[in-house]
Structure 1
Amino acid sequence: MPSTTDPRRTLATDTCSLPDGRTLAYATCGAQDGAPVIAHHGTPGSRLFAALFDEAATAADVRLIVPDRPGAGRSSPPPSDWTWHDWGADLTALREAASIDRAAVLGFSGGGPFAVAAAERDWVTRLGLVSTVVPPADNGLATLSRIPYAIPLLFRCSAAVARVVGPDAVVGQYTDRDVPEPTAAAVATDFHEALRQGPGVVARETRAFGDRSLDPDRPSCPVRAWHGTRDENTPIGPAREFVEAAGGRLVTSETDHLGTLLDRRRDALAWLGGEE
């Protein structure tokens, strides 16, 4: 489990410059000489998502790289016309900075569509999805995003409540299980870091989840997904349809949104690292 030490201090943050002058920030954990895996945090989320994976990545002999997506954490906001189809180009600069030739990609929750978009690139070896959003999403946040200012107001309020109540206020949005205190602290820290620049990134991504014109292409690399049958944040039906269409394998369990990640992170990294 993650240390009780603040991951903002224990996870080193590196940055790289993108061709248009933006900055992309990222954290790295696990086995530094291991198989590279680029992980995509949820919405909201940040590079500090890596704190949930350090021990699992080391055990799987995986070098895990977790970038802040544009506008989250310490990464610059994107141009107004930027979509997840441009994300692969951003990752080219990251790969060069981190000396990565080929890599697997992982997407959790709202990071799923970005991982799928990255998998359009020929350098991606495998695609893993955990509790993933599948566009066009018809969940509560995607619906709420159509109302002007609704998402920013919601997440400003959520952040304020979480600062007063503590990590349980964040964790309770994603699971109904009892979570160890260090894990809850890591989840909450990731949540707050995601909103460092404000909730605009959440509004932008949730709007995109419901936009049918932005549907990512089906990947040609091997696909495996892990999804809980009790997931109320991202229901399993769309994930099942996506994985079947991609010719992949869906692993189900009687877990909820965050519970699936906590239970399956070792399995996901082992497969993404090359295990059959």
Structure 2
Amino acid sequence: MGTAVDVRRESTDSMDYGVREPARLGRTRLPDGRHLGWAEWGPVDGTPVLLCPGAATSRWLGFGGDTVDASGIRLISVDRPGLGVSDPAPGRTLTSWAADIGHLIQKRALRAPAVVGFSQGAPFALALAASGLVSGAAVVSGSDELAHPRFTSSLAPQVKSMVDAVAAGPEAAAASLADFASAETLWDLVITTSAEADRTVYTAPVFQCAFRRALDEAFSQGPEGYARDTVLAMSRWPFDLAGIGVPVDLWYGQQDTSPVHSPDLGGTLSRMIPSAARHVLPTAAGALLWTHAGAVLDTLLSHAR
């Protein structure tokens, strides 16, 4: 098991959208000597739920901090290799990510965890579901398989340009992404492409502080981790969606304006995953991981029970 340190601190802002500082932080050593960094909220003996964070954010930004204790949930957010305090893994893939998490589950005795994937974390969560490592999955405002032919004519021009660049040369695309990416440029991108309802959440003082901190830590090793994540998310995914056998809930807000989330709000994705249930909330936007955390977690736990 990795080492941990208690860093619990309660928020006093009523508009914190369930954002709390982690209760525990740590790093776990993998068989090849690398370490994965993680943060936890909730009771140590609670039902384990892994979190695959969104693009360019680290373990520091959790969700549901106002519900996990009462619900008996042990939420564990994991830094992907090269982000935050997780060591880089040159040439990593979605398949190698699943192998890393398999080791983490074993070393930390996380029995039958579920997983939540937010935004760009979606393919990483689905990779765990496809590998049989989790008991259920929730994809929230998730990136879809944008390189799939079903989206050829429906991508925003700038997104199609990125998908085409990745297809033409993944390493060159990663280098190009790394040239411009930083915590500041990602913050600006999120704010300028988000709906007004999302900007209200993201710019709330407590949330903004936590979000900016997560971005800063994600880029602490440089931009390469973010660039690699983006290339993996915008490539064809190396697993069979039809082969996923665990329950998968797809959560989307009808008001979501992000061009890198699912163009059809998970419509075709839900048809490709036999075990999927799709939830489209008419008044929600992309930040529903924080505005509707209770519904996401309650539904996920209902499968485990």
Shared fold, TM over 0.5: yes
Query: Residues 75, 8 of structure 1: CA spacing in aligned structure 2 closer, same or farther, 3 A cutoff?
Result: farther
Q: Which of the numbers 217, 225, 241 marks the counterpart of 2:240?
A: 217
Q: Which of the numbers 165, 183, 188 marks the counterpart of 2:207?
A: 183
Q: Which amino acid aligns with 1:105?
A: V
- C-alpha distance in structure 2 between counterparts of 1:10 and 1:148, whole Å: 31
Q: Which amino acid aligns with 1:68?
A: D
Deviation digits for residues 210-244 of structure 1 (CA, Å, limit 9, x no counterpart): 222x3432211011111012222214516221122
- C-alpha distance in structure 1 between counterparts of 2:217 and 2:206, whole Å: 16
Q: In structure 2, the residue corresponding to 1:49 is in which secondary structure?
A: coil
Question: Which residue of structure 2 lines up, in the alignment, with residue 34 of structure 1?
Answer: 46
1:3 aligns with 2:2: no
Question: Which residue of structure 1 lines up, in the alignment, with residue 74 of structure 2?
Answer: 63
Mark the runs of 5 or more structure 2 residues left unpaired by the alignment.
1-9, 14-18, 148-154, 166-172
Work out whether residues 56 and 186 of structure 2, in 8 Å CA contact, stay in contact via their aligned partners in 1. no
Please tell me the root mean square deviation across aligned C-alpha atoms, in Å: 2.8
Map 1:200-211 → 2, pairs under 5 A: 200-211=224-235
1:16 aligns with 2:28: yes
Report how far residue 96 of structure 1 moved. 2.5
1:228 aligns with 2:250: no
Query: Residues 142, 191 of structure 1: CA spacing in aligned structure 2 closer, same or farther, 3 A cutoff?
Result: farther
Q: In structure 1, the residue corresponding to 2:109 is in which secondary structure?
A: coil
Q: In structure 2, the residue corresponding to 1:220 is in which secondary structure?
A: coil
1:152 aligns with 2:172: no
Work out whether residues 102 and 125 of structure 1, in 8 Å CA contact, stay in contact via their aligned partners in 2. yes
Work out whether residues 30 and 62 of structure 1, in 8 Å CA contact, stay in contact via their aligned partners in 2. yes
Work out whether residues 4 and 182 of structure 1, in 8 Å CA contact, stay in contact via their aligned partners in 2. no
Q: In structure 1, the residue corresponding to 2:75 is in which secondary structure?
A: strand
Report how far residue 56 of structure 1 moved. 2.8
Query: Residues 175, 183 of structure 1: CA spacing in aligned structure 2 closer, same or farther, 3 A cutoff?
Result: farther
Deviation digits for residues 14-45 of structure 1 (CA, Å, limit 9, x no counterpart): 11111121111101102322211111001111
Work out whether residues 105 and 115 of structure 1, in 8 Å CA contact, stay in contact via their aligned partners in 2. yes
- C-alpha distance in structure 2 between counterparts of 1:46 and 1:106, whole Å: 14
- C-alpha distance in structure 1 between counterparts of 2:58 and 2:268, whole Å: 28
Work out whether residues 152 and 200 of structure 1, in 8 Å CA contact, stay in contact via their aligned partners in 2. yes
Most deviating of 96-105 and 36-45: 96-105
- C-alpha distance in structure 2 between counterparts of 1:9 and 1:232, whole Å: 28
Work out whether residues 195 and 257 of structure 2, in 8 Å CA contact, stay in contact via their aligned partners in 1. no
Question: Which residue of structure 2 lines up, in the alignment, with residue 75 of structure 1?
Answer: 86
Q: Which amino acid aligns with 1:86?
A: S
Q: Provide TM-score, normalisation by structure 2.
A: 0.77
Question: Which residue of structure 2 lines up, in the alignment, with residue 165 of structure 1?
Answer: none
Q: Which amino acid aligns with 2:268?
A: E
Mark the runs of 5 or more structure 1 residues left unpaired by the alignment.
163-167
Deviation digits for residues 236-268 of structure 1 (CA, Å, limit 9, x no counterpart): 51622112221311111233222x222222111
Query: Residues 10, 133 of structure 1: CA spacing in aligned structure 2 closer, same or farther, 3 A cutoff?
Result: closer
Q: Which amino acid aligns with 2:223?
A: P
Q: Provide TM-score, normalisation by structure 1.
A: 0.84
- C-alpha distance in structure 2 between counterparts of 1:79 and 1:142, whole Å: 26
Q: Which amino acid aligns with 1:42?
A: G
